[in-house]
Structure 1
Amino acid sequence: MGDSRKKRAVVIGSGFGGLAAAIRTQAKGYEVTLLEMRDKPGGRAYVYEDQGFTYDAGPTIVTVPFVLDELAEVAGKKLEDYVDIVPCDPFYRIYFNDGRVFDYRGEQEKLEAEIHKFNPADVEGYRRFQDYSRRIFDRAFTDLADHSFHSIWEMIKVAPDLIKLRADKAVFSRVGEFIKDPNLQQVFSFEPLLIGGNPLRSSAIYAMIHYLEKTWGVHFAMGGTGALIRGLVKLFEDIGGTLILGARAEEILVENGKAKGVRVALGSQEEDLTADRESGYHFSKTKEEFFPADVVISNGDVANTYRKLVKPEHRRKWTDRKLEKMKYAMSLFVAYFGTDRKYDNVPHHSIVLGPRYEGLLTDIFDKKIVAEDFSLYLHRPTATDPSLAPEGCDGFYVLSPVPHLGGGQDWAGLKEEYADRIFASLEKDYLLPDLRKHIVSKLLFTPQDFHDRLDAFQGSAFQFEPLLTQSAWFRPHNRSEDVEDLYFVGAGTHPGAGMPGVISSAKVLDRFIQ
């Protein structure tokens, strides 16, 4: 087959899901164009630079490196030629409000010693929980992560196993059946928050995250997550793919029920925090263009892809009304900051828990209020890679789960005061003493920015809340139910949010795109 007859694919959005889909589809022999509305690739994994500090905007925890290795192999490449991924130890340090500390580690003996410090009787319960986590992983990730739930029969076939594994129960209550110490219950149930879930009601399926981390470790890409994105873009381009930046999708053209291409407005979004025109990435100069395609793959927000890009007359299932009735995951408030001193006592990944656990989760997910207290994820990448900040300095981000825009907060008016409260809470002797005196760089990102910059419906950071009734077959499918030759990857489709999930979502498409 000559190049002139090569099948064409257009991928909307260059986050991890879009890059994975673009690489896999290009490797199949398609001519792939990857469209990105912003001035850099990465989607939620965008990179900001300020005063010599490099800030990864989004995902910073690499938990299953083999899904990346596999992606490179599909393209006939080796991942290590494109990026250097290193392990983190401890995985996380968890700070409790009473000053106690738990180091979450991979080695069994060290982890059990940490558990023993809190409650010796829970060591045995933890071993049973670990076994349960492994059994869920074996079924839910190994067998089902790249499984297509395009048919209800696919769901019915696996239902007995999920019932047996008590997937109907919430992570928090399931952990409580094995582990009795309240602090340890938080340690082993917080992980659904990393993918937008409420531990009080997210399916116990997500208990598999513990086994996944325990087995493969927690890793970091040297140079930051942005270096991983740059590596995957280079890999995609090395096998013949084309990336175009500043290209916002305006419409997926549908003819006779089939996707036929993507109409874009080019140069339509300028970033006002930073811009990197010297990156070597390609900006198209024309204002509007149409990209014909045999296959269209969206890594954009699923709700907004349907609502904004596919005309209502082409949608029988995913109507605006149905999409608006879905339950959306929480959002995030993120403060990126650099200090003119180092805080060597703080590890790469920290979880700083507030005085409340269940009450705070209820405020965020159900009442949708911004509480006076908070639990935080503190990221200090300079613990692993000092090059991300000027010499003698440290770079951080701190992330606070908050309600999505359905809570009605005015983040423009709230953000400075909220950031200051967070910084003040971190000024403990064992954390970041005198922090506010040492901050020399600061950028704030709110739920409104998720809505405005990332085109996220309701400003949700993770799209649909990971409930059992919104998982697998119940989520919008990887193969569109409404439009032929339209496919979805990323957090809003199967298997869901998180780096392993969105990369696995591209593998699902292997069943459909030949």
Structure 2
Amino acid sequence: MPKKINIIGSGFSSLAASCYLAQAGYEVNVFEKNTSVGGRARQFKKDGFTFDIGPTWYWMPDVFEKFFADFNRKTSDYYQLEKLDPAYQVYFDENDSILIPGSLNEIYQSFENEEAGSSQKLEKFITKARDNYDIAIKDLVYRPGISPMELITPETATRMGRFFTNISSEVRKEFTNKKLRKILEFPVLFLGAKPSDTPAFYSFMNYADFGLGTWHPKGGMYKVIEGMKDLAESLGVIFHLNASVDRIITEKGKAKGLVVNGKDHFADIVLSGADYHHSEQLLPEKLRQYSENYWKKKTFAPSSLLFYVGFDRKLKNVSHHTLFFDSDFEEHAKDIYDDPKWPDNPLFYASFPSITDETCAPEGKEAGIFLIPLAPDLKDDEATREHYFNIILDRFEKITGQNIKNNIIFKESFCVNDFKEAYNSYKGNAYGMANTLLQTAFLRPKLRSKKVEHLYFTGQLTVPGPGVPPSLISGKLAAGLIEKNEIK
């Protein structure tokens, strides 16, 4: 009889792990507390509009291709990709924006148009970023975070300095133009920390941005989730929805299964892709690896205030992905990381997938997603959400030169309280634990429990870190550890 594995949650990392484990011959059951699979990458539909609730950026297409190739499949077997051109647009003030083109050579020219001589500097910067990408994504991130020696390779030995300087200093010593600095510091925000706290090695995100480009799966990011679910089911994985896990069953220090909606589901191995902190709350306190004090000391990635808005007409002067950097980034960052509070003048991001994809909105209408990064665990209520919606809409109208408030058909919001309720997210964080120097690789929470045999973890709070591609890799790493340590 094949060994049974029960997986908690059905986000990217859990789905990836389920596929690898089923392929390896295990009997796999996935338990998801919500009504659909996907974890934070769920979908919201209303009045003919379709929104990705969670991730909206498709970067690092090679990681997705590599995942499906492990099962002799291609992404095109499950969804269709379109490369965005422009990749995105960045507003700095009224009628003052920079379009980031879809090709690297055009990006060099855009920089040169903004600041003479910057294209050569950017080419040098991207060459180093590509070097980091080749080391990180093709090698280091596929290591399970067990030992610091994983970081010591012939390639990294000559580049260790990149771990002890930060992205911000690397950018600012080469570029004087404030707009170009903001654009180059933007990608590491996906890693959940300030550029000044993110090792320079993570400039590989700039190569992911400029070198590999920004893509869109037709139908939205949820098409990737549906593809992974289809693959998992073809391999024999069984999914259980509306299945809230009450407790991890343990006996003599060994995981024995799950209590789901009050019913026992026994298994030989348990893997949790749910929030790591929450997962350990499902254990007796003596079997938890990390104390409350441990979690309180960690730097968490931001939470978010999100709005999903249906408009009754097409909007002007925006791109599929549009960033609004017209306020002070440093001040907003302080309100997230240094002195957590609701920001006075927040930066924000807007996505209009219906510009690219006609399936996301009825004909002649626009689907809009607005996001404000926030410190986790802020007091969250409807009045505050409405206040900030009005702030960003006022700025949006002024900056893009159009009135849109009277064109809103509906809006729905999602914020700190929802992250806690929907995903059991620690302090309502949206992206997991930040990738700072002291929270990288072996310094992150472990994939394998040190206190409970046959218990494993995956997802954005463990290795390799936050983001969709790292979550796919995390699922592969967790499955690999299980295969290595558990007899089938």
The normalised TM-score by structure 2 is 0.94
Q: Does 1:209 align with 2:205?
A: yes
Instruction: Describe how 1:20-419 pairs up with structure 2 within 5 A.
Output: 20-97=16-93, 99-155=95-151, 161=157, 164-265=160-261, 288-306=262-280, 308-315=281-288, 317-405=289-377, 408-419=378-389
2:384 counterpart letter in structure 1: L
8 Å Cα contact 2:185-2:195 kept in structure 1: yes
Match of 2:446 in 1: 477
Distance 1:122 1:263 in 2: 58
8 Å Cα contact 1:351-1:376 kept in structure 2: yes
The count of residues paired between Structure 1 and Structure 2 equals: 483
Distance 1:68 1:208 in 2: 17
* Structure 1 position 139, deviation (Å): 2.0
* Structure 1 position 429, deviation (Å): 6.1
- Provide the secondary structure at the position in 1 that maps to 2:5: strand
8 Å Cα contact 1:318-1:482 kept in structure 2: no
8 Å Cα contact 1:83-1:228 kept in structure 2: yes
1:393 counterpart letter in structure 2: K
8 Å Cα contact 2:397-2:404 kept in structure 1: yes
2:396 counterpart letter in structure 1: L
- Provide the secondary structure at the position in 1 that maps to 2:249: strand
Change (3 A) 1:252 1:32: same
Mean alpha-carbon deviation: is it higher for 128-137 or for 150-159?
150-159
8 Å Cα contact 1:33-1:242 kept in structure 2: yes
- Provide the secondary structure at the position in 2 that maps to 1:437: helix
Change (3 A) 1:410 1:214: closer
Mean alpha-carbon deviation: is it higher for 322-331 or for 29-38?
322-331
Gaps of 5+ in 1: 266-287
Match of 1:441 in 2: 410
Distance 2:207 2:70 in 1: 26
- Provide the secondary structure at the position in 1 that maps to 2:196: coil
- Provide the secondary structure at the position in 1 that maps to 2:219: coil
Change (3 A) 1:507 1:410: closer
Change (3 A) 1:233 1:129: same
Match of 1:463 in 2: 432
Match of 1:498 in 2: 467
Change (3 A) 1:75 1:141: closer
- Provide the secondary structure at the position in 1 that maps to 2:113: helix
8 Å Cα contact 1:344-1:383 kept in structure 2: no
* Structure 1 position 90, deviation (Å): 1.4
8 Å Cα contact 2:316-2:400 kept in structure 1: no
State the Cα deviation string for residues 310-332 of structure 1 (Å, max 9, x = none): 211113x4123322322222111
* Structure 1 position 513, deviation (Å): 2.2
Distance 1:57 1:115 in 2: 33
Distance 2:349 2:253 in 1: 45
* Structure 1 position 163, deviation (Å): 5.7
The alignment yields a C-alpha RMSD, in angstroms, of 1.9
Change (3 A) 1:105 1:488: farther
* Structure 1 position 351, deviation (Å): 1.0
Distance 2:376 2:469 in 1: 23
* Structure 1 position 344, deviation (Å): 5.0
* Structure 1 position 498, deviation (Å): 0.9
8 Å Cα contact 1:63-1:219 kept in structure 2: yes
Distance 1:94 1:61 in 2: 15
* Structure 1 position 355, deviation (Å): 2.4
Distance 1:7 1:158 in 2: 39
Mean alpha-carbon deviation: is it higher for 412-421 or for 157-166?
157-166
Distance 1:156 1:250 in 2: 41
Distance 2:208 2:400 in 1: 30
Match of 2:486 in 1: none
* Structure 1 position 289, deviation (Å): 2.1
Mean alpha-carbon deviation: is it higher for 380-389 or for 253-262?
253-262
Change (3 A) 1:172 1:381: same
Match of 1:427 in 2: 397
Change (3 A) 1:158 1:21: farther
Distance 1:162 1:249 in 2: 46
Distance 2:217 2:476 in 1: 22
1:511 counterpart letter in structure 2: G
8 Å Cα contact 1:128-1:178 kept in structure 2: no
1:310 counterpart letter in structure 2: L
1:347 counterpart letter in structure 2: S
State the Cα deviation string for residues 397-420 of structure 1 (Å, max 9, x = none): 011111111xx4343331111111
State the Cα deviation string for residues 327-366 of structure 1 (Å, max 9, x = none): 2221111011010001254221111112212122112211
1:476 counterpart letter in structure 2: P
Distance 1:90 1:245 in 2: 38
Match of 1:282 in 2: none
8 Å Cα contact 1:27-1:239 kept in structure 2: yes
- Provide the secondary structure at the position in 1 that maps to 2:141: coil
2:282 counterpart letter in structure 1: L
Distance 2:203 2:56 in 1: 20
Distance 1:258 1:173 in 2: 47
Percent identity of the aligned residues? Answer: 29
Distance 1:362 1:207 in 2: 22
8 Å Cα contact 1:254-1:314 kept in structure 2: no
* Structure 1 position 502, deviation (Å): 0.5
State the Cα deviation string for residues 437-458 of structure 1 (Å, max 9, x = none): 1010200011121112211011
- Provide the secondary structure at the position in 1 that maps to 2:205: helix
Change (3 A) 1:162 1:52: farther
* Structure 1 position 91, deviation (Å): 1.4
Gaps of 5+ in 2: 484-488
Distance 1:156 1:311 in 2: 37
- Provide the secondary structure at the position in 1 that maps to 2:274: coil
8 Å Cα contact 2:243-2:260 kept in structure 1: yes
- Provide the secondary structure at the position in 1 that maps to 2:180: helix
- Provide the secondary structure at the position in 1 that maps to 2:369: strand
Question: Runs in 1 of length 4+ with deviation above 4 angstroms?
Answer: 155-160
8 Å Cα contact 1:175-1:188 kept in structure 2: yes
* Structure 1 position 388, deviation (Å): 1.2
Match of 2:2 in 1: 6
